[in-house]
Structure 1
Amino acid sequence: MVSVNAGAAWAKGLFPLVGSQGVTALRVGLAALVMLAVVRPWRTPPARADMRNLLVYGLMLGCMNLLIYAAFARIPIGIAVAIEVVGPLAVVVLSSRRARDVGWVLLAAGGLWLLAPVHAGVPPLDPVGVAYALGAAFCWAMYIVFGKRVSTLDGGQAVAWGMLAAALFTVPLGAAHAGAALLLPSVLAGGLAVALLSSALPYTLEMAALRRLPRRVFGILVSAGPAFAALAGWIVLGERLTGLQWLAILLVIVACGGAAATASRPA
């Protein structure tokens, strides 16, 4: 959580140079090169039964990055991640199927309602940015589902193949948007830092966690993401949130962590 959100704040600082699509291309493309060089997954090709899951995992990985960076460009990082974390909440609730989880969903909905610009002292949010964050939430949910399916692959192979699949469409898209600016030494150095902080390191750690933890426990841990994101936005970018927005983020965190903690164990 520390690594990925520090990288997110650093990435937003690069948006004026190459746009959110360009930063996504750098993050995913460079992370894919790093993972391929370190893991060398071609030495043990995945089984044919794993290929479909790896492709979907990579597709969700790339789309999640594109959408959340597009949201970062329009709304504060902490708020965007608070919306995005609804994806893992949905995974927890759908896997538990308990009536009380409706209460956690309502609590999260209450937190998101507090972010709406209908309350006194709450600044308006770009609706397009909110829509991008919701799209990222769906992709994050699918990332967890398919990441769990491919987490049995050894040595970070799932991350390496997934990053390669994601790079195949995010890099051309970012290059078409940013052009030669992606090759500037300062941009490449910043992109490498983002790739390591936000992709290569945390996704490898997440694969290790998913092999050892039930999804509900994983959901408890990632529920703290909005708080880390808001702190990173404040420390790195100077994004200050109102007291009501912090309360909204807290409600979403409690809802996600509570749903994961009380989810029934699968048979």
Structure 2
Amino acid sequence: MKLTILGCTGSLGAPKGPASGYLLRGKRGPSVIMDFGPGTLAALQQIQDPADAHIMFSHLHADHCLDFPSLMVWRRYHPASAAPARNLCCGPLDLPSRLGRISADIEGDVDDMSDSFAFVPWRHGESEMVADFRVTPYSVVHPIEAYGLRVEEPSTGRVLAYSGDTGWCDNLVELARDADVFLCEATWGDDPEGKPGDMHISGQEAGRAARLAGVRTLVLVHIPPWVDEAATVDAARSEFDGEIILGYAGMELDL
């Protein structure tokens, strides 16, 4: 399994890179896009044909999905590289209506994505095979329907866990149990004091989740451009003595 971070800046795109988006590639293919926030389509074009991929979403806040309508334009209308067949699209139950409204031509209409994607709604704890990967969604705590994703590669036994956006909850630890790599948000930086508890977590909480789950490598992501990254890493180290990496756009990891 190869992971490429298309972007991982928290809550919005930033000068250092796009908002949330990750590319997973197995031994056979096609590849899998995991979240697709603003700027990620441009980053994806530097790596592969955007039409040759399944896509899945942790949740539907704008910083995790807003390049999807542009992906639909590419898949439908590119003169040389339109999608030759449908791919899978997995996510929250209301994904077709939410994203369909964004790309519709007329107010109130919903653009039907079924010509390009076969939609599969997430159900907590129910695994789906997406290309080379077994993906299990775990419900997490956020203002809208949201999931953390556990991605297993059956051919190698490797596990990638992705928190999505979440406040602290038991499922955060369970989805990351014994993972080789844990992509975990740390939006609140080193100090969550005064922040709502049902939206995001801090670097310290990300470290605590990694320790309790027994992960091998913690990759901190979704850190807004106004947050002190070094202090966030230090906060994670106060809880977790394993490998900690600060995620960045363009980073590649082989699991």
Normalising by structure 1, what TM-score?
0.27
The structure with the greater share of residues assigned to strand is 2
| Structure having the larger proportion of residues in helix | 1
Larger Rg: 1
Structure 2 length as normaliser, TM-score? 0.28
* Bigger RCO of structures 1 and 2 (CA < 8 A, at least 6 apart): 1
